[in-house]
Amino acid sequence: MNSVISVLLIGLIISQLIIFYLIIILNNKVAKFKDLEIRQDQLMQEMDDAIGVYLIEMREENNRLLRELNEAKNVMPSAQQATQEIASTLEIRNEPLSENILKEQVQIEKKAFVPKNIAASVYRQHKAKEPEKHEAPAAKREPLTPEQQIIAMYKNGQSIEEIAKQAQKGKTEIELLIKFHQGESV
C-alpha cells in the first residue's frame, strides 16, 4: 500500500510540474500577443498621423490652387476693361474703330496675361527642343530645372508617388505639372 501511495504522489508531483510548465508557456504567449497588440496600436496611430498630414497638405494645395484660379479670374476682367478703355480712347479721338484693331488688341491682351512662371517654363522647353548651332561642352551644360527633371522622371517611367518623394512635393502638384506639360505638347 505504501508503494501505491508513493507512486501516486510521484505522479501528482510530475503532473503539477507539467501543468506549471504549460502555464509558463501560455503566459509567455499572452505577453507576446500583448506586445504585438501594442505595436499594432502604435502603427495605426502613425498611419492616422501620416494620413492626417497628407490630408492637410492636400487641403493646402487645393486652397492654393483655388487662390491662383481666383486671381486668374480677377485678371481677366481687367483685360476686358483695358479693351473697353482702348475702344473709348479711339472713339474720343474720332478715329474709326475697325474690327482688326480690336482683334489685335484682344490678341495682345491675351498674350500679356500669361503667368511668368508658365512663360519661362515654355521658353525653356522650346529652347531645349531647338537644335543648337554649336554644341556646348558637356561640362558647361546648364542643369535641368525642377520641372524638367520631373517631366524627365515621368517619361522614364517612374510613378507619380516616386517622383513626389524625390522632388519633395505633393502628388497633386506633380500630377498637375505633368498634365499641364502633356497639354502643351498636344
Q: What is the pTM of this model?
A: 0.31
Distance CA 180, CA 173 (A): 10
pLDDT tens, position by position, 148-182: 888 888 989 888 888 988 888 888 888 888 888 88
Closest to 155 measured CA to CA, from 128, 180, 182: 182
Angle at 49 between CA 45 and CA 51, to 5 degrees: 115
Q: Is the pLDDT of residue 5 over 50?
A: yes
Give every CB contact of residue 110 below 8 A, 6+ residues apart in sequence.
Answer: 79
Give every CB contact of residue 152 below 8 A, 6+ residues apart in sequence.
Answer: 144
pLDDT tens, position by position, 47-78: 988 898 899 999 999 888 888 888 877 765 55
Which amino acid is it at 166? Q
Closest to 145 measured CA to CA, from 167, 130, 115, 129: 167
